[in-house]
Chain A
């Protein structure tokens, strides 16, 4: 077929003429379900039909939504073309020959970049992009393990966070608490690439520990608790930083050192560009290390003893739960901390200190399972900072389903029972294998 678009003036004329007997069939043929709202006239001028667009509002007045969302849904042709998704709007940036490197070691709790990591990468971008003619590149050193580590899916988030170069170090050596192995790897990176800055998060998740170890090994005096940087040509690296000192009671302003441990919200995360995540590798494999610290794994803690605000995994019950015995049993079997919606607390099924939401506790769980909770706005506010939300509910139209990453429509009692059985079966298999 030829690539040239052939116009059929007769069909266009019928499509314009609403009184023509073939009007509807021609419209359907041209691929327009409803009446055309925009078309090219015979003289090449775009014509619009305002009667075909818009919708009747709740008070009976016709409204036209000019943002293009409504037309894109109704008309399809022409209107939706300019509406790009947010990810496509980002400018692609590739830095081929960077003048210098800014190394960042994100925490990556749960294998994802945390908001603290994103802030830190934003800070790294500030340092790298300060000189427009000689831009630096942001080098991220990530440690990981397990299958699929460093896959494309992981890197997708990386490019939007502002990473130009990536060193992904995987293996059993870096699993769990392995500060000495990680430190050896970072020292090797420093020896090979000698980045101008080292940025680490000053966080309990490991960044604070690793950063101090790195600074001690590199014999650099780091700035800790940094929350602001400013350009200052009088300083050696061209930057001045402000960090917290003396248990957060003083602000120390000094020249930016090579190793920086920065607090959360030290900079705005990258929002306008996407970056090429080019993989780099160490030229030499790391020498074997005599481990002096052995990680024996995490210890099972009583989930009921963990404060709701800092629990990692919450199983939360609402009005839809009828089988309370089964719910408590499920929480115990899954090893989850129990939460509740306001209704469940008011009805006396759960204690007040277990209430999640604006009037109860703001939770920060990584996984939040909402059982029979419809999702009042106060409750949704309380779970704002949860990573993954799973909803089990009978009503497919409720707000919690819209918020959830995984929603299962069905009877909560039987689903929980099946889940408990599955977990117990898997535990037994593991025990048999061991």
Chain B
């Protein structure tokens, strides 16, 4: 969908959202899933989703809805209740059987509820785990998407100022028009502990939804992850002497520039130029 075709939809959202904005609250939906403990393989609350819930809890005057689409059995119940234990009386479960495509159901649900902000973890810990769900939802709903969120700085007049986490510990400030979908990864602040009592007392409101099946996965061949082969340093050399030299070589740059007999100012000038070219000075 082209962004310019989305303008009417966005306006409609604005008019609907006034109901929520009248009492000054921000409608936030957090998509949560069943995680998998990396060591034991047991079901747990997914780490990134829990971070998303934590981010939602840090928002000022937000009305948070937890949304889970998927099956509901004993194992997944304990995992989902982990989110309730973070301080929620209830959550919504969009019932979907195993092997269903949850995106149409979720998109319908979000279209109905019209939250201002949708928060999701970057990728699931079970199943395909391709991290595609937020993107497909954004494409379907025509909402902007921001990935790798570290923090929400402020939300006013339907515009959110966000802090995006970049690699190497850097941060970038973004402004995005609501409604929007944001995803969080390990750079967001860690989730609070889940309290057992509230988790057991919380209510899970199941909602039936139309089921569409995901056809592709049965054709796949899924196996436990193999260890990837380590890349060898391949030396293409004609003679034994070259091979030996390559194996015993010290790290050397390809002919760097050496400045001798320069004043400190000239030397500093050259370094300054290099730092500027690399864009590390701000």
A-side interface residues toward B, CB under 8 Å? 65-67, 110, 176-177, 179-180, 204-205, 208-209, 212-213, 215-217, 221-222, 224-225, 227, 244-255, 265, 268, 271, 289-290, 292-301, 305-307, 310-313, 334-336, 366-367, 369, 377, 380-381, 383-384, 387-390, 392, 396, 399, 401-411, 414-419, 421-423
B207 close to A (CB within 8 Å): no
State A392–B264 Cα separation when bound (angstroms): 10
Whether A249 contacts B225 in the complex (CB less than 8 A), given A212-B131, A311-B168, A419-B268, comes out as yes
Contacting residues, chain A, for B257 (C-beta < 8 A): 405-407
What are the interface flags for B247-282 relative to A under an 8 Å C-beta threshold, 1 for contact and 0 otherwise? Answer: 000111100111111111101111110110011111
**Contact (Cβ within 8 A) A294 B135:** no
Going nearest first, the 5 A-B pairs with the smallest beta carbon separation are: A418-B268, A408-B267, A253-B221, A414-B264, A306-B169
**Contact (Cβ within 8 A) A408 B226:** no
**Contact (Cβ within 8 A) B128 A249:** no
B125 close to A (CB within 8 Å): yes
Interface-facing stretch out of B51-59, B142-150, B190-198: B142-150
Quote the shortest CB–CB distance from A326 to chain B (angstroms): 12
Quote the shortest CB–CB distance from B148 to chain A (angstroms): 7
Contacting residues, chain B, for A334 (C-beta < 8 A): 275, 281
Contact partner of A249 (CB less than 8 A), chosen from B3, B38, B163, B168, is B38
**Contact (Cβ within 8 A) A298 B278:** no
**Contact (Cβ within 8 A) A67 B269:** no
Contacting residues, chain B, for A250 (C-beta < 8 A): 222-225
Quote the shortest CB–CB distance from B84 to chain A (angstroms): 23
Whether A212 contacts B170 in the complex (CB less than 8 A), given A251-B225, A294-B176, A419-B268, comes out as no
Contact residues on B (Cβ < 8 Å of other chain), bracket:
35 or more
**Contact (Cβ within 8 A) B36 A410:** no
B241 close to A (CB within 8 Å): yes
B157 close to A (CB within 8 Å): no
**Contact (Cβ within 8 A) B242 A294:** no
B-side interface residues toward A, CB under 8 Å? 3-4, 7, 36, 38, 123-132, 135-136, 138-139, 144-148, 161, 163-164, 166-177, 180, 216, 219-226, 228, 231, 234, 236, 239, 241-242, 250-253, 256-265, 267-272, 274-275, 278-282
Contacting residues, chain B, for A418 (C-beta < 8 A): 264-265, 267-269
Contact partner of B256 (CB less than 8 A), chosen from A310, A377, A406, A410, is A406
Contact partner of A307 (CB less than 8 A), chosen from B169, B177, B221, is B169
Contact partner of B132 (CB less than 8 A), chosen from A65, A222, A265, is A222
**Contact (Cβ within 8 A) B174 A177:** yes
Whether A249 contacts B167 in the complex (CB less than 8 A), given A295-B174, A396-B258, A403-B252, comes out as no
Contacting residues, chain A, for B168 (C-beta < 8 A): 306, 310-312
**Contact (Cβ within 8 A) B250 A377:** yes
**Contact (Cβ within 8 A) B147 A222:** no
Quote the shortest CB–CB distance from A262 to chain B (angstroms): 12
State A421–B264 Cα separation when bound (angstroms): 12
State A414–B3 Cα separation when bound (angstroms): 55
Known: A252-B222, A407-B258. 12 other contacts (CB 8 A): A205-B167, A209-B147, A212-B132, A217-B139, A224-B132, A245-B127, A290-B4, A293-B174, A311-B169, A389-B256, A404-B258, A411-B264
State A251–B128 Cα separation when bound (angstroms): 9
Quote the shortest CB–CB distance from A92 to chain B (angstroms): 18
State A253–B226 Cα separation when bound (angstroms): 12
Contacting residues, chain A, for B173 (C-beta < 8 A): 295-299
**Contact (Cβ within 8 A) A298 B138:** no
State A254–B167 Cα separation when bound (angstroms): 30
Contacting residues, chain B, for A311 (C-beta < 8 A): 168-169
Quote the shortest CB–CB distance from B181 to chain A (angstroms): 11
